Amino acid sequence: MSAKTADRIATAVIIAVSALIVLLLAGLLGYILFRGLPHISFHFLTSGPQTIKAGGGIGPQLFNSLFLLVLTLIITIPLGLGAGIYMSEYAKPGKLTDSIRLIVEVLSSFPSIVVGLFGLLVIVNVFGLGFSLFSGALALTVFNLPLMVRITEQALKGVPREQKEASLALGLSRWKTITSVMLPIAMPAIVTGTILASGRVFGEAAALLFTAGMSSPRLDFTNWNPLSPFSPLNPFRPAETLAVHIWKINSEGLAPDASQIAAGASAVLIIMVLIFNFSARWFGRFLHRRFTATK
Amino acid sequence: MEQMEQPAAHDQSRIQPRTNHKLVKPHIMEEWVGKVFTTLCIIVLVVTIAAIVYFVSSHGLATFITDGVSLGGLLSGLKWDPEGEIPLYGALPFIFGSFSTSLLAAIIAAPLGCCAAVFMTQIMPGLGKRVLQPVIELLAGIPSVVFGFVGLSIVVPFLRSVFPGQGIGIAAGAIVLSFMILPTITTIATDALSNLQRGLKEGSFALGATRWQTIYRLVIPTTLPSLLTGVVLGMSRAFGEALAVQMVIGNAPHIPHSLFESASTLTSVITLDMGNTVTGSTHNNALWSLALILLAMTFVFVFIVRFLERRNNR
């Protein structure tokens, strides 16, 4: 076989494999949406689940997922920004910084189920928070934190050196330089990264089985007192998220239409992920235009 | 790194001579607040990981220390029967299940990921950036339970109709996992290939080599450590993945005779059993020992990745 033929064959194979990957994803999304979309209705999105009867919805689960995401971001963003700023601006090269970097790396590769068990033991039992949204948010923080640190660090490293030096030369302190010169420039990258990370949090389930719990109390959506156990806003109530719900009905679903509910819920989850993905891109571009004045 | 040192020196020389000036005070305060806040964040991070390692190992080791199960027995025992007359804690079937599914997943996903990366960097960068890259990113965002659901409703019935058996088992788990780790492998391989030294490829082309010869003889060997890093990270992800695998693997506590027979992994048994045990019981502690094995494997994977990166930098 001549080198030319080998080149042609290899190129064809590589193109075919790449096309296959695109087709597989298209097929995957198509299948989920095709099976799930017919089942999605206003009733499905807002009503509560049924254990043994058909016709259950995913209302509380959807709400719990979004609420959990908000809680997680409230905890993660300040911590992640702070740690990321430290890593990119204050850390001096040396053994200590290297080991912190290693810690971030290890933390991001911990299996989510181990983080969930840790949450069960420490947050749920030792701190006595019980199966609650707050416990779930803390467990998700363990996951999300390394991501946030990396996103912030990379975004700050991407700020042009001249900008930083000009600010320092004007007599601003280092902290002021970071907060009012560097962070705005790094913001598009940070926001994009955060939204993408949120998509991940939204779909996470293994860590939540043992922290946020696998059941929701009967929620009363007219009760907005965050201290009442039936209020949707109470962060200390158990909460089953959408992803956990999908897992539960697939493994132990008793309702006769369990597979349709799983399909519908999966489609909702996928649509949410797609929204996160596209809004991250769009928002990143928008902020980039705003902050850099490029058209 | 110099660029960070420079402003620091700069800063001090500017602040020091004016210490008595009243304008300096808020300045120093500001700096102090920043430093304390960021350092606290780092401390939280360090404390978290220390706590995870401490709690998982203290409970995981209790199986051996207080409950008298032998380490060798747990690692090599073939029978897992914690509820039996004589409770047996042999975790080998789960260890086998975890390793075989993640290894198989890597074997399926690695060539696909590398092909995608070559496509994006060497063959059609324009189309790759516009089509394949968003596809890979989307794939990375799909939640694991959705993969599990798709595995249950497409992969398992397909395997059942083509191969003997119920369709559930290591093969189904590996196929589902390979999808989940494809983005990891592709992203790292793409980074490695696009950071390739300029001139290397041009030199090869100038000598008359075809594109495939260049890729096969030059590009792949030079970037091999990075490609392997991607594969190891992918395996590490597959090893720790819990729910998607649990849904399609069947969860039978024995070593299967074929790829299409029900099996179990470390993560799936923890997922299923943890809620049914009492804290402090031997059964519960044995599950923590499995979690400890998972944790130890994470460290092993991180160590391998570090080793490969060091080789790559040399």
pLDDT tens digits, residue range A136-178? 899 899 888 998 999 999 999 888 888 888 888 888 888 888 8
Number of Cβ pairs < 8 A linking chain A and chain B? 261
Cβ contact, residue pair A270, B10, below 8 Å = no
Cα separation of the two ends of chain A: 52
Cβ contact, residue pair B39, A204, below 8 Å = no
- Using CB atoms, pick whichever of B212, B233, B240 lies closest to residue A10: B212
What pLDDT is attached to residue B22? 53
B180 min Cα distance to partner chain A (Å): 11
Asked if B201 has any chain A CB less than 8 Å from its own CB, the reply is no
Please tell me whether residues A66 and A191 are part of one structural domain.
Answer: yes
The answer to whether residue B9 scores a pLDDT higher than 50 is no
Please tell me whether residues A18 and A103 are part of one structural domain.
Answer: no
Query: Which is it for strands B88-89 and B80-81: parallel, antiparallel or unpaired?
Result: antiparallel
* B82: exposed, middle or buried (Cβ count in 10 Å: 0-12, 13-18, 19+): middle
pLDDT digits 0-9 by tens, B49-77: 999 999 999 888 888 888 877 888 888 87
Rg (CA), chain B: 26
Cβ contact, residue pair B139, A25, below 8 Å = yes
| Count of the separate structural domains present in chain A | 2
pLDDT digits 0-9 by tens, B258-305: 888 888 899 988 888 887 888 778 888 888 999 999 999 999 999 999
Nearest chain A alpha carbon to B213? A7
Asked if B205 has any chain A CB less than 8 Å from its own CB, the reply is no
Looking at per-residue pLDDT, the higher value among B257 and A224 belongs to B257
Please tell me whether residues A152 and A193 are part of one structural domain.
Answer: yes
CATH of the domain at A154: 1.10.3720.10
Grade residue B25 by pLDDT with cuts at 50, 70 and 90. low
What pLDDT is attached to residue B23? 52
Say what the pTM is: 0.86
Please tell me whether residues A143 and A25 are part of one structural domain.
Answer: no
pLDDT digits 0-9 by tens, A76-107: 999 999 999 998 888 888 888 888 888 888 88
User: If you classify domain B95-277 with CATH, what class do you get?
Assistant: mainly alpha
Please tell me whether residues A32 and A56 are part of one structural domain.
Answer: no
Q: State the number of CA atoms in the 13 A half-sphere of B163 facing the CB.
A: 16
Cβ contact, residue pair A113, B35, below 8 Å = no
**Average pLDDT, integer, range B192-197:** 84
pLDDT digits 0-9 by tens, B95-142: 999 999 999 999 999 999 999 999 998 888 888 888 888 888 888 888
What pLDDT is attached to residue B3? 46
Grade residue A55 by pLDDT with cuts at 50, 70 and 90. low
Task: Say which residue the tokens 């912030």 belong to.
Answer: A152
Please tell me whether residues A24 and A154 are part of one structural domain.
Answer: no
The answer to whether residue B174 scores a pLDDT higher than 90 is yes
A293 min Cα distance to partner chain B (Å): 25
- Using CB atoms, pick whichever of A25, A32, A175 lies closest to residue B34: A175
Asked if B293 has any chain A CB less than 8 Å from its own CB, the reply is no
3-class DSSP assignment, residue A279: helix
Asked if B131 has any chain A CB less than 8 Å from its own CB, the reply is yes
Measured between beta carbons, the chain A residues lying within 8 angstroms of B179 are: 24, 28
Please tell me whether residues A183 and A122 are part of one structural domain.
Answer: yes
Looking at every residue in chain B, the average pLDDT score rounds to 84
Cβ contact, residue pair A145, B45, below 8 Å = yes
Grade residue A293 by pLDDT with cuts at 50, 70 and 90. low
Phi/psi-derived region of residue B262, left when phi > 0, alpha when psi is between -120 and 50, beta in every other case: beta
In chain B, what are the domain boundaries? Answer: 95-277
Give the span between the Cα atoms of A118 and A127, in whole angstroms: 12
**Cβ(B270)–Cβ(B290) below 8 Å:** yes
Please tell me whether residues A135 and A32 are part of one structural domain.
Answer: no
Grade residue A294 by pLDDT with cuts at 50, 70 and 90. low
Please tell me whether residues A59 and A18 are part of one structural domain.
Answer: no
pLDDT digits 0-9 by tens, A253-270: 677 777 888 888 899 999
The answer to whether residue A46 scores a pLDDT higher than 90 is no
Task: Say which residue the tokens 């109709």 belong to.
Answer: B161
Cβ contact, residue pair B271, A209, below 8 Å = yes
Containing domain of residue A29, as a range? Answer: 1-39
**Cβ(A23)–Cβ(B116) below 8 Å:** no
Task: Say which residue the tokens 């395996």 belong to.
Answer: B235
Cβ partners under 8 Å of residue B47, min gap 6: none
Please tell me whether residues A181 and A213 are part of one structural domain.
Answer: yes
- Using CB atoms, pick whichever of B112, B123, B138 lies closest to residue A277: B138
The answer to whether residue B182 scores a pLDDT higher than 80 is yes
Task: Say which residue the tokens 């016709």 belong to.
Answer: A55
Please tell me whether residues A80 and A164 are part of one structural domain.
Answer: yes
Spatial CA neighbour of A193 closest among A224, A150, A230 = A150
Cβ contact, residue pair B49, A106, below 8 Å = yes
**Cβ(B118)–Cβ(B111) below 8 Å:** no
**Cβ(B181)–Cβ(B244) below 8 Å:** no
Measured between beta carbons, the chain A residues lying within 8 angstroms of B42 are: 82-83, 86-87, 100
Task: Say which residue the tokens 């999304």 belong to.
Answer: A29
Give the mutation candidate from A149, A247, A276 for the B interface (greatest B CB count, under 10 A): A247
Spatial CA neighbour of B287 closest among B63, B72, B17 = B63
Q: What residues of chain A, 8 to 37, have a C-beta less than 8 Å from chain B?
A: 10-11, 13-15, 17-18, 20-22, 24-25, 28-29, 31-32, 35
